[in-house]
Amino acid sequence: MSVLDVVALQLAAEPGNVAGNVERLLAAVRAHGPGSDLVVTPELVTTGYDLDMFDERGADLAEPLDGPTVSAVAKEAAQLGTTIVLGILERDGDALYDTAAVVLPDGSVYPFRKTHLYPAELTRFSAGEALLTVDTPAARIGPLICFEHAFPELATTLALAGTQTLVIPSAVPIGYEYLLTLRTRARAQDNQMFAVACNLTGNGFTGHSLIVDPAGKVLASAGAEETALRARLDLDLITRERDQEPALGMRQADLYRPDAVNRLGVVTAGDK
């Protein structure tokens, strides 16, 4: 397909109320998902994002990927014929992961576990160990989660692996919306691919989700209210942008290693 119809569900999540959060999420999917190819939800939308709560109840709130929440989302994905990116607290044995589960219409589930944890998350979650691209029926997508949009190398690695649309479930707090906006646009334009950043709102989170094209242009954006953003992404624009400015194909990776710094001829003050 050359066009991707994407929906970003900017939702509030009540900390600890998994049943209520999932019910509201499914209602939003049913209301806004028809006709879409891709639906993106915020980070940890099923549990809410509360690190102190996870210290006390994380093991009880988390679910395995074959648990009831992912199963319910998979049912909706199949009925709507759409791919859903679900932000969930995943339990695997004794480990807890901040996970974006990519649920395809055929029922298959591909988990991306947050690899770069924010410092306050290091004692709460286990870190994922691999990046992920998923070929959906409409496009190849690559997920990152919140803080990970601060690392340009991650988005570039996904772009080099053929990602057409970067999806970023997030929980950016009030006062830091500029990071969400700036980094999403930068990661899209850096790599000339689409980006969909879907943020939590309410309970201290800023909202301000956005959908960005390969030139860094904002196609749809939200304020602080609960809402559903929708945009049609012309995937051919990726090729046009890369043909116009072929930066991604002109990378010189051998210059980007730390041991290559001395080739710059770095000098200190006083040297001649």
264 pLDDT higher than 60? no
pLDDT recorded at residue 268: 52
167 touches 40 (CB < 8 A):
yes
Q: What are the tens digits of pLDDT across the range 102-143?
A: 999 999 999 999 999 999 999 999 999 999 999 999 999 999
152 pLDDT higher than 70? yes
pLDDT recorded at residue 263: 58
pLDDT recorded at residue 57: 97
Nearest to 198 by CA among 136, 149, 134: 149
Structure tokens given for 88: 């969930």
Burial, 203: exposed, middle or buried (Cβ in 10 Å; 0-12, 13-18, 19+)? middle
pLDDT recorded at residue 270: 55
Give the amino acid at 251.
R
Mean pLDDT of the chain: 95
Higher pLDDT, 260 or 161: 161
Nearest to 38 by CA among 240, 211, 213: 211
In sequence order, which ranges of the chain are alpha helices (DSSP H)? 18-32, 51-61, 68-80, 152-160, 177-191, 236-244
Q: What are the tens digits of pLDDT across the range 155-195?
A: 999 999 999 999 999 999 999 999 999 999 999 999 999 99
CA dihedral sign of residues 49, 84, 4, 136? positive
E strands, 93-152, in order: 95-103, 109-113, 134-135, 140-143
Structure tokens given for 260: 């290559």
Domain at 3-246: CATH architecture: 4-Layer Sandwich (3.60)
pLDDT-derived band at 269, boundaries 50, 70, 90:
low
pLDDT recorded at residue 260: 77
The stretch 66-87 carries a mean pLDDT of 98
Q: What are the tens digits of pLDDT across the range 198-234?
A: 999 999 999 999 999 999 999 999 999 999 999 999 9
Q: What is the DSSP letter of 245?
A: S
As a whole number of angstroms, the distance between CA 127 and CA 118 comes to 10
pLDDT-derived band at 257, boundaries 50, 70, 90:
confident
pLDDT recorded at residue 39: 98
